Amino acid sequence: MKKLFTNDYIVREGFLSEAVCARWEKNILRNLHIFGADVEPVYGQMAAYYGMIEAGLNESYYRFAEKHNKYLLKEFPEVAAVIADAGRLILSHSGLKPDALPVVPRDKKYFQVGGFNLQLHSWDLYNIHTDTEGLLLYPSSIFEKKTRAYSCVVSVKRTAQYTKDRGGDLDIWRERVLAHELDGFYKRDGFSAKSSKLREKIPYKVGNMVLFDSFMPHVVLPFKVKKKDDRRISFVVHFNYRDHTECNPFPHLEYWY
């Protein structure tokens, strides 16, 4: 749908209360056997789609998705409202009515509806990237200007290292880069941006929500984890406009993690 916005981001400061974030953090950290880190997750954990695919655990992701969704919505009841609000925000920011399209799970039996990105160890990777891995079901879409995909991130626990060179915080380039255009964005090393002219710092306080075009390059700044307070947690959900799918045969915004 061409009317849906591109090349932009939205920040809602204080989107979630500090009390809710603290409760979520406590629940997650005492159940780390359930919540997998986004890098090197373990079989059966509630980790991101891309993390499970990269680790060769796709069978685990699909097998446990329905169970994980029930657990997520029971133990973190605010999640349903976060997803619904984000969907409405995509539509209203595009100049449409907040209920202009159904906002539905991609497939709640096989895909998680949302989840938590955990960084429990030092994050040394300077990884400027776009969020296209969730579009694996639609390979051509990552090359097409008509594709509308969005990433929604809520800061649940900000690493204490943010006081040191903004460690763990988020930067976004205000430009839209499709898959075949990435060579023009990166330097010859394949991971550094040619220019920082369009790079913008995102307010990443606890409770803040950031919603952006998934084709906008972004980076989580490296940080060290030397103590528990240095760990970082974000709630993440992705959206994509589809004319129809087998599961949802009508125009809609689908979401997953």
CATH number, domain with residue 27: 2.60.120
Q: What pLDDT was estimated at residue 42? A: 94
- Residue 40: per-residue pLDDT: 85
Residue 223's domain comprises 9-256
The pLDDT, as a whole number, for residue 73 is 97
Domain contains 134? yes
Mean pLDDT by 10 residues, the chain (257 residues): 94 98 97 88 95 94 98 98 98 98 98 95 88 96 98 97 91 98 95 96 96 97 92 97 97 98
Instruction: Report the pLDDT value the prediction gives residue 196, as an integer from 0 to 100.
Output: 96
Per the structure, how many domains does the chain have?
1
Which residue type does 128 have?
Answer: I
Q: Answer yes or no: is 2 within a domain.
A: no
Instruction: Answer yes or no: is 248 within a domain.
Output: yes
CA atoms within 13 A on the CB side of 115: 30
- Residue 233 within any structural domain of the chain: yes
Centre a 10 Å sphere on the Cβ of residue 204 and count the other Cβ atoms it contains. 23
Give the pLDDT of residue 202: 96
3-state secondary structure of 66: helix
93 in any annotated domain: yes
Residue 2: predicted pLDDT: 85
Q: Within 10 A of 194 (CB to CB), how many other CB atoms are there? A: 10
Q: What's the pLDDT score for residue 139?
A: 97
Assigned domain for 169 exists: yes
